[in-house]
Amino acid sequence: MMNVALATALSLAAGGLAWLTDPFQVYDNGTYGPPLQVEHLFYDQWPTGLSVASNGAIYANFPTAVNQTNTQYTVGVVTSYTTEAAFPSVEYNQPPGGFLNPSNPAFGSADPDHLISVQSVVVDALDRVWALDTGRPLYNGAQVLATVPGGPKLVGFYQNGTRFANYVLPITTAYPDTYLNDVRFDLRPSTLPSGQGVAYITDSSDEGRSGIIVIDLGTGNSWRHIDSQPYTRGDQGFISTYDGQVFQPIRQGNPNPGTYSHLTTGSDGIALSADGAYLYFSPLSSRRLYRVPTSYLLVQPSGANPNAANAAIAATQYLGEMGGSHADGMETDASGVIYIGAPEQDGITMYHPDLGMWMPFVRDPRIQWPDTLSVATNNRLYFTSNQYWLQPSLNNGTEYRVRPWGIFSVPISAGKVILT
């Protein structure tokens, strides 16, 4: 701290206090890269994911919060600059028995034919809309309920709302504490013998058994890889910084309500390389980026392939730290560049796999936790900004989020990856 006499002397020498505050030519102006375009404002429910179809339709999802406001629908479609509507219908978003399991309300609903709590919505290369249902609603603002089979599932809809696929995951793939977080598709018939392609899903479970889930879209079989490994789990004692302020969550639920804790969320953001050969992922509660060749993930661990799980772990590559931020979402464009959300930098970082290099892409003080990224066919990158760390469940019950939440877009040099 400068003493008063020195400050006064400097100020007099410079002819006023302005000299003390204004001499600096290098400072953080908070912005970088292309200007943001505001695509949508959310004034009602709280969004996490979004995805854009080739006709410009924007789909979004809203994790269910029982006893709070977020219970009208968990998947929606944008209907105007400031409004959304249920997708595929209000009815599909309202399980008749409620969001909780009627026989044991400590668990989420087991209803396989309705959406319980969707964490991610993705429009695939055939313009179909997939909803990834965790089956884990947030209860009373504090507790994310465990699941029973029927809740966790991947549901496919045509844009007209007709359901064409419903992969309900067995308990051997989706554990009661699994949190299905994000999904990418490779629809090439050559990926698996059944010829319908594959879905790769991150399990970001806060409770530690995080990993990668693979679904054979032809047979509906599913299996896990890189289960409970350091690659898919958060760092112990992870501490992050938003808007220049250190953040340590204070949870209301277990294990120690009301005390400072850490984010523990595991593998969350996920991206497929433009050629489908690698799956990129990062635990939310770490700044580490990994990739694994998909050829290892496509092998189902079984008696016939007893070393498949170990082989996928051994093939996982650590690519380095992501430049001063953890990430909640990532996405590839057709040129192979991977865009990685950087909540600690109010921005988005680019990773060039061919160069093994990170580069700045965009920063703006309005980017308050970029949650999910989506490349659209119009060569623009869309993303949500949702103030994730300000929610009551991480702040001792106090709501610090302020509406509206937003969808932004920025121009990029290539379009959506089409693996069909």
Ligand X SMILES: *[C@@H]1O[C@H](CO)[C@@H](O)[C@H](O)[C@H]1NC(C)=O
Residues at the contact surface with ligand X, assessed by CB under 6 A: 29, 31-32, 66-67, 98, 100, 158, 160, 162, 250, 258, 396
Q: Could you tell me the smallest distance in angstroms from the CB atom of residue 151 to ligand X?
A: 15
Q: Which two tokens stand for residue 326?
A: 């953890």
Residue nearer to ligand X on the CB measure, 293 or 397: 397
Q: Which of 327, 368, 380, 367 is nearest to 351 (CA)?
A: 327
Q: Could you tell me the smallest distance in angstroms from the CB atom of residue 270 to ligand X?
A: 27
* Phi and psi angles of residue 370, each rounded to the nearest 5 degrees, phi first: -70, 115
Q: Could you tell me the smallest distance in angstroms from the CB atom of residue 250 to ligand X?
A: 5
The neighbour count for residue 202, using CB atoms within 10 Å, is 31
Q: Which of 120, 118, 6, 21 is nearest to 71 (CA)?
A: 118
Residue nearer to ligand X on the CB measure, 194 or 396: 396
Residue nearer to ligand X on the CB measure, 130 or 278: 130
Residue nearer to ligand X on the CB measure, 32 or 238: 32
Q: Which two tokens stand for residue 139?
A: 């209860």
Q: Could you tell me the smallest distance in angstroms from the CB atom of residue 345 to ligand X?
A: 12
Residue nearer to ligand X on the CB measure, 221 or 396: 396
**Residues 51 and 119 sit within 8 Å (Cβ to Cβ):** no
**Residues 72 and 86 sit within 8 Å (Cβ to Cβ):** yes
Q: Which two tokens stand for residue 77?
A: 């479609």
Q: Could you tell me the smallest distance in angstroms from the CB atom of residue 415 to ligand X?
A: 22
Residue nearer to ligand X on the CB measure, 31 or 166: 31
Residue nearer to ligand X on the CB measure, 109 or 205: 109
Residue nearer to ligand X on the CB measure, 29 or 55: 29
Q: Could you tell me the smallest distance in angstroms from the CB atom of residue 122 to ligand X?
A: 17
What value, to the nearest 5°, has the Cα angle with vertex 246 and ends 346 and 134? Answer: 70
Cis ω for the linkage preceding 293 (within 30 of 0): no
Q: Could you tell me the smallest distance in angstroms from the CB atom of residue 9 to ligand X?
A: 32
Angstrom distance (rounded) from CA 226 to CA 297: 9
Q: Could you tell me the smallest distance in angstroms from the CB atom of residue 115 to ligand X?
A: 16
Residues sharing a CB contact under 8 Å with residue 103, sequence separation 6 or more, in sequence order: none
* Kind of pairing between the strands at 267-272 and 278-283: antiparallel
Q: Could you tell me the smallest distance in angstroms from the CB atom of residue 307 to ligand X?
A: 41
Q: Is 274 left (phi over 0), alpha (psi -120 to 50) or beta?
A: alpha
Q: Could you tell me the smallest distance in angstroms from the CB atom of residue 139 to ligand X?
A: 7
Residue nearer to ligand X on the CB measure, 67 or 219: 67
